Amino acid sequence: MRTELNQRRRWPQLLALTLWACAAVCTHAQESALATARPTALLGGTLHLGNGEVIANGSLLFDQGRIVALGARIQLPANAEQIDLVGAHVYPGLILLDSTLGLIEVEAVRATLDNTEFGELNPNVRSADAYNVDSELLPVTRFNGVLSAQIAPTGGLISGRSSVMKLDAWTAEEALLRADDGVWLNWPQRLVTQIDENTLEAALTENPEYARQMGELEDLFAQASTYRRAAPSPRNLKLEALGPLFEGTARLYVRTDYAADFDAAMAFAERHQISAMAWVGAAEAEQLAARLVESNIPVVISAVHRLPIYPDSPFDQAYQLAAHLHQAGVTVALTHSYYMNARNLAFQAGSARTYGVPAEQALAMITSVPAQLLGLADELGTLKVGARATLFVSEGDVLEMRGNRLTRAYIDGMAVNLQGRQQRLYQRYRERYQRGDQVPATD
């Protein structure tokens, strides 16, 4: 009995020792992989820099997770791994804005929904805390070249704070590129559509909640401004979370499609001395183009592949919007806010190109422009010396659905596995039918 009792007492110690040993081995293995990785040279491909420039028959060298050389001719170290890419194209990793990747897994399963919180005013919510690095949607999205994303909460008036994440990492902490880059405000609509149940006719009416919602926003931001100057105790996390907006170190992202609503949002930001903001959604942004240029406010078009905003609008309104804004001088980024279709980000830019955006500028709208909005222009979105080696190789044009086929991808210089759930299922059933397996007959 005493021997059995001693063994039971030793179990926690043995378990702790085993876990520590496993962690040490795993950590050592990861550190060794980083330490022993050779410089990698991608040779002979077409380099699309992401800033509008293209280098034909160019080469790129990266080492220790950073780009160290690129151009038509570069000097290679003797120990470099050389990869021939003649005929292929090299791009900076695509950047997805305003996404719930890693926050939503299956919409029908409530336990997998971490994109929204109860209540209307939640600036203290942090998307990075809920981000799931093991989401099955991440490899599906990486498959088409999206390697970084701004993960943003949804719901309420103030949804919370977004963070920028790598789409391949062991932990959320490891995935984090920039924490709390912005606060997300779902601007209340002043006019709402109501449908008469008898005649089925639609009419615009005043939103009965508008005055209350605006009053709550005004009060919250006024309190946050006072709180920032006074720094009282105990801490108020909601008011504290808004502080970076007044300091200009975080951006206010305003979600709305309508020009009248964003006009009110600009006046709101001016009243509260918020200097950095962006318009997300922006279906009617063309109406405010001159003011957007004057105020240096960027626009994030949430979907190119969408129906016109009004029944009598031109059918191609959404397709042409990016081109019209670009021609007017507005800073434009593109995204695909719906998490299930985030993998199609490049093809949104492809459609914008078809409807008038210059080819390399369409690429910039999903690479260098998002990086600038996120404050990561020196790190992501452009192939240049010193930037992170977050890039991919495609056999063809990344903006063309028939041409884009990734053969390699790297995040911080580490090779990324491009096999996701869809590819695994494809291989599984392809092998089955190649073997000639028969499906059992059923009565």
Is the confidence at residue 134, as pLDDT, over 90? yes
Q: Which amino acid is at 53?
A: E
CA distance 243 to 245: 5
- For 63, the 3-state DSSP assignment is strand
Residue 184, sorted as left (phi over 0), alpha (psi -120 to 50) or beta, turns out to be beta
The arithmetic mean of pLDDT across residues 341-368, rounded, is 96
What is residue 242's three-state secondary structure? coil
Assign 61 to helix, strand or coil: strand
Instruction: Report percent pLDDT > 90 for the chain.
Output: 75
Which position has the higher pLDDT, 340 or 12?
Answer: 340
Rounded to 5 degrees, what are φ and ψ at 186? -90, 100
DSSP code, position 355? T
C-alpha span between 332 and 315 (Å, rounded): 21
How far apart CA 347 and CA 267 sit, in angstroms, is: 35
User: What average pLDDT does this structure show over 62-67?
Assistant: 96
CA atoms of 392 and 124, how far apart (whole Å): 35
Give strand pairing partners of 392: 91, 409
Distance CA 62, CA 69 (A): 7
Looking at residue 21, its pLDDT comes to 40
Q: CA–CA distance from 47 to each of 43, 56, 72, 85, 351 (Å)?
A: 10, 6, 9, 10, 22
Crossing angle of the two packed helices 259-271 and 210-230, in degrees rounded to 10: 30
Q: Which fold has domain 94-380?
A: TIM Barrel (3.20.20)
Mean pLDDT of 244-268: 97
Task: Identify the pLDDT of residue 439.
Answer: 57
* Low-confidence winner among 125-129, 141-145, 203-207, 282-286 (lowest mean pLDDT): 203-207
pLDDT band at 12 (very low <50, low <70, confident <90, very high): low
pLDDT band at 310 (very low <50, low <70, confident <90, very high): confident
∠ CA 288-289-290, nearest 5°, is 95
Which position has the higher pLDDT, 232 or 348? Answer: 348
What pTM was computed for the model? 0.88
Residue 125's pLDDT band (boundaries 50, 70, 90)?
very high
Instruction: Return the pLDDT at 20.
Output: 45
Domain residue ranges of the chain, discontinuous segments joined by +: 36-92+383-443, 94-380
Bridge partners for 48 per DSSP: 54
Whether residue 9 is predicted with pLDDT greater than 80 in this model: the reply is no
> Using 50, 70 and 90 to split pLDDT, how confident is the model at 180?
very high
pLDDT digits (tens, 9 = 90+) for 372-393: 999 999 999 999 999 999 999 9
- 283: tokens are 């279906």
Report in angstroms the alpha-carbon separations of 140 from 121, 136, 269, 402: 33, 7, 38, 17
Which residues, other chains included, contact 369 with Cβ-Cβ below 8 Å and sequence gap of 6+? 298, 331, 332, 333, 381
Pairing outcome for strands 191-195 and 391-394: unpaired
Range with the largest mean pLDDT of 30-34, 282-286, 309-313: 282-286
Q: Is the dihedral of CA 123, 154, 247, 279 positive or negative?
A: negative
**Bigger pLDDT: 310 vs 132:** 132
> Where residue 32 falls among pLDDT bands split at 50, 70, 90?
very low
- If phi > 0 it is left, if psi is from -120 to 50 it is alpha, else beta; for residue 177 that is alpha
Average pLDDT, the chain: 89
pLDDT at 100: 95
Lookup: tokens for 250? 């975080």
Percent of the chain with pLDDT over 70: 90
8-17 b/e (C-beta count within 10 Å ≥ 16 → b): eeeeeeeeee
Which pLDDT score, from 0 to 100, does residue 432 have?
84
End-to-end CA distance of the chain: 59
Q: Which CATH architecture group holds 36-92+383-443?
A: Roll (2.30)
Q: Which of 40-49, 104-113, 274-283, 353-362 has the lowest mean pLDDT?
A: 104-113
C-alpha 349/C-alpha 400 separation (Å) is 9
